[in-house]
Amino acid sequence: MTESPIRVGVLGARGRMGATVVKAVEGAADQELVAALDAGDDFAPLESAQVVVDFTHPDAVMDNLRWLIAHDLHAVVGTTGFSEERLTELRGLLADKPQLGVLIAPNFALGAVLAMRFAAQAAKFYASAEIIELHHNRKADAPSGTAAHTARMIAAARAEAGVAPGPDATTSEVDGARGASVEDVHVHSVRLPGLVAHEEILFGGEGETLTIRHDSLDRTSFMPGVLLGVRSVVSRPGLTVGLENVLDL
Ligand SMILES: NC(=O)c1ccc[n+]([C@@H]2O[C@H](COP(=O)([O-])OP(=O)(O)OC[C@H]3O[C@@H](n4cnc5c(N)ncnc54)[C@H](O)[C@@H]3O)[C@@H](O)[C@H]2O)c1
Ligand SMILES: O=C(O)C1=N[C@H](C(=O)O)CCC1
């Protein structure tokens, strides 16, 4: 007997990512698009969905998630801007809904997820690491969610291995010249038209450097990860942060 397709709603459907997700869901044999909504639309059509995919805005996503969880809908979230405080609130909301799953992934591209994992593996061997993230100039948030997640993974790997961040002799600095510090990892953000989403993780050691680079050249690069997220979230209760957990990396 064939299983019925997963009923999917999309929030942010008129945006760059949301429009791409709508097409991907329409093209997936095991998924059915039941609602494609954007800012100002009535959310009622979402109630016929099982899973809602959110690619909206960091200022909108928490209200959306509060609504989705209250209406017993699983969520796959690509929108960035999640602080530890936001994640704690979501864990609290989900504690009352033990059957529900929320998957938040700062990057759904397979290569980006692998690059982050490789960076975490490398981190214990190099005390010095910096991140350069490069995106299109219509992006609202800096640093990117991917860069912040990568920095946290590097910091966690360092802490586990007992590696302290490498020395930095900077004593005089134009504001921002050394980038933002995310858990002691310097992150530099570039915004240019023509770019999509790119990240370089640079490690420095004795007489050598290691560079790990990933490039999303088209928003279709995120779609296999989004569709996988939809398939997996229905049987993954609680909060999952990072596609690496779904891929078992
Ligand atoms: N996780 C990933 O792999 C990944 C990939 C690309 C982009 N992103 C993130 O996704 C988000 C969206 O990126 P984008 O480039 O598509 O932006 P975009 O501005 O092109 O699209 C966002 C859309 O959301 C809509 N929107 C805003 N508030 C809303 C609300 N309350 N309800 C419904 N719709 C609402 C906007 O009108 C717009 O159409 C950003 O946070 C971006 O960083 C994540
Ligand atoms: O286009 C964007 O905006 C992207 N945002 C994510 C991030 O902030 O890391 C992922 C890549 C594209």
Query: Is residue 135 within 6 Å of ligand 2 at its C-beta?
Result: yes
In the sheet that holds 208-216, the strands lie side by side as: 180-182, 185-191, 128-135, 197-205, 208-216
Ligand 2 centroid vs 54 CA: distance in angstroms? 13
With the most atoms of ligand 1 within 8 angstroms of its CB, the residue from 16, 21, 57 to mutate is: 57
| pLDDT number for residue 1 | 60
> What are the residues whose beta carbons fall under 8 Å from the beta carbon of 246, sequence distance 6 or more?
103, 228, 229, 232, 236, 240
pLDDT digits (tens, 9 = 90+) for 181-229: 999 999 999 999 999 999 999 999 999 999 999 999 999 999 999 999 9
The residue with tokens 């290691």 is: 210
The residue with tokens 């980038």 is: 179
220 is in an annotated binding site: no
pLDDT digits (tens, 9 = 90+) for 71-88: 999 999 999 999 999 999
Q: Which atom of ligand 1 is nearest to the CA of 112?
A: 3
Cis check for the bond before 143: say yes or no (omega within 30 of 0): yes
As a whole number, mean pLDDT of residues 102-124 equals 98
Reported as a pLDDT band with limits 50, 70 and 90, residue 248 is confident
Closest by CA to 61, choosing from 86, 98, 41, is 86
Ligand 1 centroid vs 103 CA: distance in angstroms? 16
Q: How far apart, in Å, are the Cα atoms of 110 and each of 5, 7, 78, 180, 224?
A: 24, 24, 14, 26, 8
| pLDDT number for residue 180 | 97
Ligand 1 centroid vs 212 CA: distance in angstroms? 27
